[in-house]
Structure 1
Amino acid sequence: MAERLKAVIGHLNYNLQNEKQNPVSAVSELPVTSGFKYTVDNRKLTFQQRQFYEDNGFLVIKKLVPSDKLQKYRDRFAEICRRDVVVPGLTVMRDIAIKNSEFVPGEQAVTKIQDFQNDDVLFEYCTLPEIIDYVECFTGPDIVAAHTMLINKPPDSGKLTSRHPMHQDLHYFPFRPADRIVCSWTAMQTINRENGCLVVVPSTHKGQLLVHEYPKWEGGVNKMYHGIQNYSPSQHRVHLEMEEGDTVFFHPLLIHGSGANRSKGFRKSISCHFVWGKAHYIDIADTEQQFIADEVLELVQKRLGPDINITFHDIWKYKSRKVRGEDQFTKNAYK
């Protein structure tokens, strides 16, 4: 009873503070109630939901995305895999264990598509009010979609290459502030431990960006599947088993990964990283992130030619697209 009363009082105090127009955070220039850091003032989240995210760095909302929308995205994914449509800038990925195999051409050969910001069908996911109204609780009202993915995790070949090592998404992002970045990750079907659900380490969003590298796994690892260099599996982990339409929102410093898909079918999810529309780029030269920047630039040069004049920041600007409010993000230079 005492804990429930404490929660109710806290909820009332939070609402009263909202009415008084809270001071702006010096870091993000967004209204943040005292005692909160990772969320901004917005009535969409309950007090309990907001506190859970603050404490743990993730929040699951059940049945958020309707089935008919997810079916549209599944159909579009199949069209892209069959090459019925060509999407400019799209990145198509295959698992290292099957890329040279005799898999039937099409959907079964593709394990992930990235950067679908130029495809209006799939990009609809990033604009759904069901998603964006929650995103605003983390980024504020100015929202840019910065990284889009549809994942088609394959049945494991027996070499465990369908695993995704434990990592932090901020490793890939040359922009800040980290607390105004959030990922929405939606299950397109039942996802459980058998077919490789997400695994998170609660509260690690309160830590620092750690050093990442390729895991030294037998059978190898997929391109850019970097993992934390000194990750200890003894840390308390939570397996996020989800149903179709369930969506998890999580912080870019949250340590997470996914297990092998031990089922006979492909496991699908769709996701987007959103960033505050006034976020800025940073100089990552000689930092932990130089590793990923060099790798990305090398791939771009292989695709477009060695003489292409482009920076890591340029690539992220190209991958991004405004969703709501003001967009300075795709115009900013790094500070």
Structure 2
Amino acid sequence: DYCDGVIPKGGATLMKDISLLKKGARGVYLYNKIQDILFDEIFEKYFFHSQLLDYVSCFTGPNIRAMHSMLINKPPDSGALTSRHPLHQDLYYFPFRPADHIVAAWTAMEPVTTSNGCLVVLPGTHKGELLQHDYPSWEGGVNKAYHGIQGCDDYETVPLPMDKGDTVFFHPLLIHGSGINKTPGFRKAISCHYSTSDCKYIDVYGTVQEK
């Protein structure tokens, strides 16, 4: 309904897939994600679910703040391979610290497989540093804000297939991405980044986040 304009988007941001836009896709087949859906009356039941927050508090402590929310749609790939998401660290997008008190909760809304583009991770990288990100030089193009760590494309990643309702929690420094949706269906997931309410905003001037 968001994608078709039935429901006013309010403060949400609808993100289009660059190659699907060029092919004239419409509605749900055009958008790869909807950002900032925290205060939607349906989705907020997920973001503030008591069982979810119990796990979140293990990372953030008791004073929890929801910082970034999104519905990830991942429609069938156009053939340009733009449905993949380059390997990246979420902390690159967040100008607040400490990183150890930020966590992502990522829940599959349907079965997530290697065929429809499940998450892939580089285990242990959450112990490292925030690395330089940039747009990949992909022939088929790259979607807006799909920044990635350069030189990581050939790394051996671990796929995370999930069943409907499964949830994974991960650190903002964990290097991760997702594959191509090679199926005729979607790969829908809902995600939110939480932090302690004691997090402080930082000046990104002169850091890898400045760009």
Supply the distance in 1 between the matched residues of 2:199 and 2:54 (Cα, whole angstroms).
Answer: 19
Ranges in structure 1 where 5+ consecutive residues have no aligned partner: 1-78, 292-335
Count residues in correspondence.
211
Are 1:258 and 2:173 an aligned pair? no
Over the matched positions of the two proteins, sequence identity in percent amounts to: 56
Select the residue among 248, 270, 285 that pairs with 2:205.
285
Counterpart of 1:141? Answer: 62
Output one character per residue of 1:221-266: Cα deviation in whole Å (capped at 9) or x when no partner.
00010000232623x4210000000000000000000000011111
Supply the distance in 2 between the matched residues of 1:113 and 1:242 (Cα, whole angstroms).
Answer: 21
What is the SS of the residue equivalent to 2:68? Answer: strand
Select the residue among 11, 18, 21 that pairs with 1:89.
11
1:170-249 aligned within 5 A: 170-231=91-152, 233-234=154-155, 236-249=156-169
Supply the distance in 1 between the matched residues of 2:30 and 2:83 (Cα, whole angstroms).
Answer: 13
What is the SS of the residue equivalent to 1:267? Answer: coil
Output one character per residue of 1:164-201: Cα deviation in whole Å (capped at 9) or x when no partner.
00000000000000000000000011100000000000
Residue 240 of structure 1 aligns with an amino acid whose one-letter code is L
Supply the distance in 2 between the matched residues of 1:221 and 1:201 (Cα, whole angstroms).
Answer: 21
Select the residue among 262, 269, 272 that pairs with 2:192.
272
What is the SS of the residue equivalent to 1:184? Answer: strand
What is the SS of the residue equivalent to 2:198? Answer: coil
Are 1:100 and 2:41 an aligned pair? no
* Kept in 2: contact 1:87–1:118 (CA 8 A): no
What is the SS of the residue equivalent to 1:271? Answer: strand
Residue 4 of structure 2 aligns with an amino acid whose one-letter code is R
Supply the distance in 2 between the matched residues of 1:209 and 1:144 (Cα, whole angstroms).
Answer: 22
1:43-54 aligned within 5 A: none
* Kept in 1: contact 2:29–2:76 (CA 8 A): no
Runs of 4+ off more than 3 Å: none
| TM-score, scaled to structure 1 | 0.61
Supply the distance in 2 between the matched residues of 1:232 and 1:207 (Cα, whole angstroms).
Answer: 18
Supply the distance in 2 between the matched residues of 1:283 and 1:128 (Cα, whole angstroms).
Answer: 33
Residue 101 of structure 1 aligns with an amino acid whose one-letter code is K
Output one character per residue of 1:99-123: Cα deviation in whole Å (capped at 9) or x when no partner.
13332x3222222100112322212
Supply the distance in 2 between the matched residues of 1:276 and 1:146 (Cα, whole angstroms).
Answer: 10
What is the SS of the residue equivalent to 2:45? Answer: helix
Residue 53 of structure 2 aligns with an amino acid whose one-letter code is I
Counterpart of 1:117? Answer: 38
Output one character per residue of 1:118-148: Cα deviation in whole Å (capped at 9) or x when no partner.
3222122110112111001000111111000
C-alpha RMSD of matched pairs (Å) = 1.2
Supply the distance in 1 between the matched residues of 2:136 and 2:50 (Cα, whole angstroms).
Answer: 38
Counterpart of 1:70? Answer: none
Supply the distance in 1 between the matched residues of 2:60 and 2:75 (Cα, whole angstroms).
Answer: 32
Supply the distance in 2 between the matched residues of 1:224 and 1:89 (Cα, whole angstroms).
Answer: 18
- Say which one has the larger Rg: 1
| TM-score, scaled to structure 2 | 0.96
* Kept in 1: contact 2:108–2:163 (CA 8 A): yes
Q: Which has the higher strand share?
A: 2
